[in-house]
Structure formats: structure tokens, C-alpha cells
Amino acid sequence: MQYRSWIAASFVIGHLPARAAYALAAVIGVIGYYGWPRGRRSTHRNFRQVFPHAAPGEIRRLARASLVNYCRYLADFIQFHRFSPAGLVAACRGEPAFAGLDAVLERGKGAIIVCMHFGNWDLGAGAAAARGYPLTVIAETFTDPRLDAMVVGARRRLGMQVVPMERAAPSLFRALKANGLLAILIDRPVRGDGVTVEFFGRPIDVPAGAARIALRTGAAVVPVAFAREHPSRREVTVLTDFSVIPERTGDAREDIRRLTQAIMHAHERFIRAHPEQWYKFQEMWPRTPARASA
């Protein structure tokens, strides 16, 4: 079903002008908001945690805008074949951010770019690759191999090296050893191999991989987000935080927790600035103390 839906969407949106594609994406997003009760309720709960004093109407507006913006992101993804390398670079505004990244890479140990499902992370990644940065991204594998091949192929055409999450370890260390960039998404709660930190005032388990790899390799860690500038244009602004510094104290577990906490605090600032561009349609936080304890 996912594969057929993606094929149909790709056929329709792939042949539309950009403005028409965005208009259709907005309509689909609004329909999805009202036609997907479970996702709507989960998104409401997430935004109530981010903005506990917001009025119910504002929470509904943010949740609806989030799904609309996510559909705009998907429209961009479908139309990435139209982008030239120069077009990707022009669409990603952030010269100070790239200058800061160059300074970080002068250390020769690579950099781990930690993102969330926010704005248009694939456009940002494509722009980085088009600028000549060697970029490796960790990606989840879709259950349908046909859909997986389409999504991975689109990212590889943008210049990314895509590594399946299940077979990631050796490629990650090679990428950093070559002073490249390693991109990781961190806003998927996990159990078992994660680390517990606070996010908007409540505990949550998030992947520990970014912090663990950085502390092991000496790579820099840079929280990054790519905020869409206008609802009907393919332009993003790069948001970065270069103040997150991996520190080793001899307590490995605490070092991982503190580094991950700093990453999450950076993303809190990005989300507060552009909340409608954070795409989280499953509940981010456990709803009961018992669940949190488990």
C-alpha cells in the first residue's frame, strides 16, 4: 500500500509546477489532519508538551501546519530530480553555518550532523553534498524493498552515501576517519539501546549512537536543522549550534548522557523558533509514569 501510494503521488506531483505541487500538498495535509485521528491526537499531545500554556486553538493550528509542511517536504522529495547541484546550493541559505563546519573539519576527525524530522533535512543534505562535503546518512529500511529502493535511490542521486541502519557500524567509522560528515536523525524514541534525557521538561529515551560515536572517534557534534523560509518556495535556512562539545570524564555512560542532553537542548531551541516545521506524528513522551518507568 505504501509503495502504490508513493507511485501515485510521484506520478501526480512529479509532473506539476512547484507552486501547484505545494498547493496540492497543503490540501493533502489538511485532509490528513482531519482524517487521521490517531496521528492528530499524538501531535496535539506533543505540542502541548512543547507549549504547555498554549490555547487549544493554537495547538490545533500547529499540529495542522506541521502535517501540511511535512507534505510540502514530501513534494520536494518527489521533485528532487529537477534540482541541479547549483540549484541545491542556492536553495540552502547558511554561509555562516558552512563556514563554521569548515572550521570544525579542520581538526580532521569528521563531524556528526544530528538532525530531527524538521523542515527539509534532505534538501539540506543534498546542498551539503553539492558543496563537495562527503556525506554519509543513516537511513531506516522500509519493509517494502521497492519503496526502499526508490527512496534510497533519490537520496543517492542527491550525492549522499546511504547506509541502512541495520548495517551501519563499519561505514560510519570509515566516513569519519576520512574527515567526512555523518548525518543521524535523533528524534525517534527508543528502548534498550537509548539514553534517557530531558526534552521540553520531561524524560525521554533517544538514540545514543551520535554521542557514543563522537566520544569514541573524537568527531565533532553539530545539531542542525533546515527551516523552510516560505511555504511556496524551495528555500531553507540552516540552523546550527557549534557549542556542543564532547567531553570525556572517565564515566562513559554519563558522558553519553550529557552530550545527548546538549544535543536535545539545541533542538529544543530550533523547535521553539519554528514549531510548525517539526514533524512528529507519534507520541514523543510516555503518557503515564508506569510507561516511563518501563
Q: What percent of the chain has pLDDT over 90?
A: 75
Predicted structure pTM score: 0.92
Is it the case that residue 290 has pLDDT exceeding 80?
Answer: no
Q: Which is more confidently placed, 188 or 98? A: 98
User: What's the pLDDT score for residue 172?
Assistant: 87
CA atoms within 13 A on the CB side of 237: 9
What integer best gives the mean pLDDT of the chain? 92
pLDDT tens column, 52-88: 999 999 999 999 999 999 999 999 999 998 889 999 9
The whole-angstrom separation of Cα 243 and Cα 3 is 41
pLDDT tens column, 177-232: 999 999 999 987 666 678 999 999 999 999 999 999 999 999 999 999 999 998 88
Helix (H, G, I), strand (E, B) or coil at 180: coil
The whole-angstrom separation of Cα 270 and Cα 241 is 10
The whole-angstrom separation of Cα 159 and Cα 131 is 10
Q: Which is more confidently placed, 40 or 139? A: 40
- 8 A C-beta contact, residue 97 and residue 113: no
User: What's the pLDDT score for residue 190?
Assistant: 64
The whole-angstrom separation of Cα 236 and Cα 172 is 27
